C-alpha cells in the first residue's frame, strides 16, 4: 500500500499557488500542510474529490473494463492488444499481475486518500457558516463511501483508511485487509453521516455533478440491498433499510411517472443540466481537448456517424449477441442503445447509447456526454428488487411496469402470458434482472447486479448455461467460483503476503 495512501492532491483545482514563496520548498507546488487556510481552499479540495471520479481507472467513463466487460453485456474480441491484459477481464483469466487492475486499485485508493486528507484537515479552516462546512464534509464522506462500495464488491476484504496518512510507518500499520463486514460498516457510517447535513434533495437544487440527499439515499439503499443479498445475517433488516432509503430517493423525484421523460432525453448532451431523471453524474466538458468525453467517439464503429463526427476506424463498443437477443420485440431502448454496422470490417452490433455528433464536439469527437452514475429508473428497479425480497411482489411489479411502459412494452402480467417471456424469465427476480439489463445496458451496473443476485456457485452456473456463440471470443468455460472477486494486485499482496492475503483461487 505504502504511498498509495499518502498520495497528495494531484489535481488542477489546487494549482492556484499561494504567494508566500519564502516558506515554500517548491514555488510550483503547495504543500498540503500549508494548503487549507480559507473556505475557498476547502471548496477547491472538494472539487478535487469529485474530479477523482472522472478517470477511466476510477468509476468515470471508460471504467467499463472493470465492470461491464466482466459481465455478459460487453467484452472485446481482440485478445492480443496490450499484451492481452484487457481481454483477461471478460475471459475470466485475469492475473494478479494485470497492470489495468493495479491501476484501478491505485486510482480508487487515491480518491479515498483525497477524501481522508480533506476530512483530516478541514478543522484547520475557520468557517463563517458552519452549515457550509458540514455540507463539504457530507460531500466528501459520500464520495469516500461510494469508492469503498465499488471496491468492496470487486475485491472483498480491503485495507481501511479513514484518516490522512502522513508517514510510511502509519501506512504500513494500515496496510492489511479487513473483513467485508467492517468495510460495509464504514460505508454505511459515511453515507449516514452524509445524510445528516443541509444538502438539498436534488443536484438541480445545488449543482449538477455534486451529490444530494437523493443520491446519498440511492447509494445507501443499494448498499443495504447488497448486504441483504450477500450477508446471511440480518438480511430481512437490510432489505427493509434498502426499501426505506430507496423509497426516500424515489420520493425526492421532481416528476410524476417515468414516461414523462423520454429515454433518449436521459442521454441527450443538451439536456444533461436539466433532465429530471438524472440524480448524480460525472461531468465532462464539450469541445475541450482535455476534459471532454470520448465515449461517443470510442463506441462508434467504422463507417457510422450516429455517435460522433469523428471518423472511426475501429469496430466500436462491443455488444454480445447474448445481450442483443435479450431485448424484447418492440423495446424502443434497443434501437437507441445499439446498432448493426454493416461495414465489412465490422459486421456486428456496436453501442450507440452515448451520442454527441454536434459541431461543438466536432470531428475530433470532443463530446459533452456526462457519465451517469445514478438515475431514477435504476432506483426504481432497485426498489422493486428490495420489495420483492420482502415479499411485496405487487408493489415491486408496479415499479417494474412503469419502466416497461416507457420502453413501449406490455406490463408484467400481460408479458407472463407470452410463452417466450415466461420461459426466459420464469420468476419476478429474473424479470427484474432482465429489465435492469436492457434499461441500464453499458452503464456499468450489470456485473454488480449479477453478483448481488447469484452466489459464486450460482454465478458459474449462470454463465456456463449460456451459448459460447453468443458470448464472443472470451471462453465461458474459464469461469469458476474464484471469479466472484478480482485478485488483489500482486504488488499489494507482495508487500505483506500474510496481512494482504490473496483471494482464493488466484
Tell me the pLDDT band of 10, cut-offs 50, 70 and 90. Answer: very low
Q: Which residues pair with 371 in a beta bridge?
A: 282
C-alpha cell, 98: 494485470
Give the long-range contacts of residues 249-257, CB within 8 A, separation 24 or more: 249/214, 249/215, 249/217, 249/218, 249/221, 249/279, 249/379, 250/376, 250/379, 250/380, 250/383, 252/201, 252/202, 252/212, 252/213, 252/214, 252/217, 253/214, 253/376, 254/202, 254/204, 255/376, 257/402, 257/405
Indicate whether 112 pLDDT > 60: yes
Tell me the pLDDT band of 29, cut-offs 50, 70 and 90. Answer: low
Tell me the pLDDT band of 110, cut-offs 50, 70 and 90. Answer: very high
Tell me the pLDDT band of 465, cut-offs 50, 70 and 90. Answer: very high
pLDDT at res. 27 = 47
Q: Decide: residue 335, CB within 10 A, 0-12 exposed, 13-18 middle, 19+ buried.
A: exposed
Q: What is the mean pLDDT of residues 126-139?
A: 96
Least confident interval from 74-83, 453-462, 484-493: 74-83
Tell me the pLDDT band of 69, cut-offs 50, 70 and 90. Answer: very high
Could you tell me if residue 443 is left (phi over 0), alpha (psi between -120 and 50 degrees) or otherwise beta? Answer: alpha
Give the pairing type, strands 278-282 and 371-375: antiparallel
pLDDT at res. 306 = 98
Is-above-0.85 flag for pTM? yes
The two domains 1-15+36-198+454-506 and 201-283+370-449 share their CATH topology (first three levels equal): yes
Indicate whether 294 pLDDT > 70: yes
Cα separation, 437 vs 73, in Å, equals: 8
**CATH annotation of 201-283+370-449:** 1.25.40.390
The domain at 1-15+36-198+454-506 falls in which architecture?
A: Alpha Horseshoe (1.25)
Q: What is the mean pLDDT of residues 387-401?
A: 98
pLDDT at res. 322 = 98
Helix (H), strand (E), coil (C) string for 213-258: HHHHHHHHHHHHHHHHHHCCCCHHHHHHHHHHHHHHHHHCCCCCCH
Please provide the average confidence, as pLDDT, over all residues in the chain: 93
Indicate whether 23 pLDDT > 60: no
Indicate whether 4 pLDDT > 50: no
Contacts (Cβ under 8 Å, ≥6 apart) of 497? none
Indicate whether 28 pLDDT > 80: no
Tell me the pLDDT band of 34, cut-offs 50, 70 and 90. Answer: confident
Q: Please write the tens of the pLDDT for every residue from 84-104.
A: 999 999 999 999 999 999 999
Indicate whether 11 pLDDT > 80: no
Q: Where are the domains of the chain?
A: 1-15+36-198+454-506, 201-283+370-449, 292-365
Q: What is the mean pLDDT of residues 336-359?
A: 97
Amino acid at each position: 500500500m505504502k504511498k498509495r495512501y499518502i498520495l497528495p492532491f494531484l489535481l488542477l483545482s489546487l494549482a492556484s499557488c499561494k504567494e508566500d514563496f519564502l516558506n515554500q520548498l517548491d514555488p510550483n507546488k503547495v504543500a498540503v500542510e500549508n494548503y487549507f487556510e480559507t473556505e475557498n481552499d476547502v471548496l477547491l479540495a472538494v472539487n478535487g474529490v469529485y474530479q477523482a471520479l472522472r478517470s477511466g481507472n476510477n468509476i468515470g467513463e471508460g471504467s467499463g473494463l472493470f465492470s461491464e466487460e466482466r459481465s455478459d453485456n460487453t467484452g472485446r474480441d481482440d485478445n492480443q492488444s496490450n499484451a492481452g491484459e484487457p481481454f483477461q477481464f471478460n475471459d475470466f483469466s485475469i492475473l494478479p499481475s494485470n497492470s489495468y487492475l493495479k491501476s484501478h486499485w491505485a486510482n480508487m485508493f487515491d480518491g479515498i486518500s483525497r477524501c481522508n486528507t480533506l476530512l483530516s484537515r478541514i478543522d484547520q479552516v475557520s468557517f463563517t457558516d458552519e452549515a457550509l462546512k458540514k455540507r463539504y464534509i457530507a460531500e466528501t464522506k459520500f464520495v469516500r463511501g461510494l469508492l469503498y462500495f465499488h471496491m468492496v464488491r470487486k475485491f472483498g476484504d480491503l485495507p481501511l483508511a479513514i484518516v490522512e496518512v502522513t508517514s510510511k510507518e502509519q501506512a504500513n500499520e494500515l496496510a492489511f485487509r479487513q473483513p467485508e463486514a467492517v468495510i460495509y460498516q464504514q460505508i454505511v457510517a459515511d453515507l449516514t453521516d452524509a445524510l445528516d447535513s443541509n444538502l438539498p434533495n436534488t443536484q438541480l437544487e445545488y449543482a449538477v455533478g455534486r451529490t444530494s440527499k437523493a443520491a446519498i439515499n440511492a447509494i445507501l439503499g443499494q448498499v443495504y440491498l447488497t448486504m441483504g443479498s450477500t450477508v446471511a445475517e440480518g438480511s430481512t433488516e437490510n432489505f427493509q433499510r434498502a426499501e426505506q432509503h430507496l423509497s426516500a430517493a424515489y420520493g425526492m423525484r421532481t416528476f410524476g411517472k417515468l414516461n414523462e421523460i423520454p429515454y433518449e432525453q436521459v442521454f441527450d448532451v443538451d439536456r444533461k443540466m436539466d433532465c429530471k431523471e438524472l440524480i448524480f453524474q460525472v461531468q465532462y466538458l464539450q469541445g475541450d481537448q482535455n476534459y471532454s468525453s470520448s465515449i461517443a467517439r470510442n463506441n462508434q464503429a467504422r463507417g457510422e456517424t450516429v455517435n460522433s463526427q469523428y471518423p472511426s476506424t475501429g469496430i466500436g463498443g462491443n455488444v454480445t449477441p447474448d445481450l442483443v437477443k435479450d431485448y424484447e420485440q418492440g423495446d424502443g431502448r434497443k434501437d437507441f442503445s445499439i446498432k448493426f454496422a454493416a461495414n465489412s470490417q465490422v459486421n456486428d452490433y456496436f453501442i450507440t447509447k452515448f451520442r454527441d455528433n454536434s459541431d461543438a464536439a466536432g470531428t475530433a469527437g470532443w463530446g459533452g456526454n456526462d457519465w451517469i452514475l445514478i438515475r431514477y429508473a435504476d432506483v426504481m428497479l432497485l426498489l422493486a428488487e428490495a420489495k420483492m425480497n420482502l415479499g411485496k411482489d405487487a408493489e415491486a411489479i408496479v415499479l417494474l411496469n412503469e419502466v416497461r411502459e416507457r420502453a413501449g412494452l406490455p406490463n408484467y402480467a400481460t408479458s407472463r402470458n407470452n410463452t417466450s417471456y415466461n420461459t426466459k424469465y420464469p420468476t419476478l427476480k429474473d424479470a427484474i434482472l432482465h429489465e435492469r439489463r436492457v434499461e441500464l445496458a453499458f452503464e456499468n451496473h450489470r456485473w454488480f447486479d449479477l453478483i448481488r443476485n447469484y452466489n459464486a456457485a450460482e454465478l458459474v452456473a449462470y454463465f456456463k448455461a449460456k451459448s459460447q456463440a453468443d458470448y464472443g471470443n472470451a471462453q465461458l468455460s474459464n469461469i469458476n467460483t474464484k471469479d466472484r472477486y478480482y485478485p488483489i494486485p500482486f504488488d499489494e499482496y507482495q508487500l505483506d503476503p500474510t496481512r494482504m492475503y490473496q483471494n482464493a483461487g488466484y
